[in-house]
Amino acid sequence: MSNIPAPVAEFLSHQRLAVAGVSRDSRQPANCIYRKLRDSGHQVFAINPNATEVEGGPCDKDLRSLPAPVEAVVIATPPKAATQVVRECAEMGIRSVWMHRSFGQGSVSEEAVEECGRRGIACVVGGCPMMYCEPVDLAHRCFRWILKWRHRVPE
């Protein structure tokens, strides 16, 4: 896809990613993101403190429990949990996060965004990796256009 915003291109350049907020319910947005990143060639790890398996594979309770280090994290948790994920990223030396958000608040917390700034973590605020990982489905192309028009994705 042409014209990918620089912060998005930087985030997606990482090969080892974690998705915080993956659910036992495969219909949840975090699970869709997990599958799309995995199917796009990334090595992806699932994070959920209440599950040991999701999407047919292992799930870790937090970033500290991962079997291998990751370079970046998609935060697809409730907003109140986002700051804790950012703090774990800082502790683990992870310097790139993406806070998922479509039309509502999503996972974005102002406190978490400020924590990223204090900790030197690059933060993509809003939108969804599925809007940029090829092939992009029609729904996510439309979401990207609408959210760009509303200034709710990186430009």
Look up the CATH number of the domain holding residue 130. Answer: 3.40.50.720
- Is 133 among the domain residues? yes
Q: State the pTM of this model.
A: 0.93
- Is 155 among the domain residues? no
- Is 75 among the domain residues? yes
- The tally of domains found in the chain comes to 1
| pLDDT band for position 1 (cuts 50, 70, 90) | very low
- pLDDT, tens digit (0-9, with 9 covering 90-100), for 121-141: 999 998 999 999 999 989 888
pLDDT attached to residue 144: 84
- Is 1 among the domain residues? no
- Is 154 among the domain residues? no
- Is 83 among the domain residues? yes
- Is 74 among the domain residues? yes
Mean pLDDT, the chain, rounded, equals 93
On whether the CB atoms of residues 127 and 147 are closer than 8 A, the answer is yes
The residue segments making up the domain with residue 29 are 6-149
The DSSP secondary structure of 36-95, one letter per residue, reads HHHHTT-EEEEE-TT-SEETTEEEESSGGG-SS--SEEEE-S-HHHHHHHHHHHHHHT--
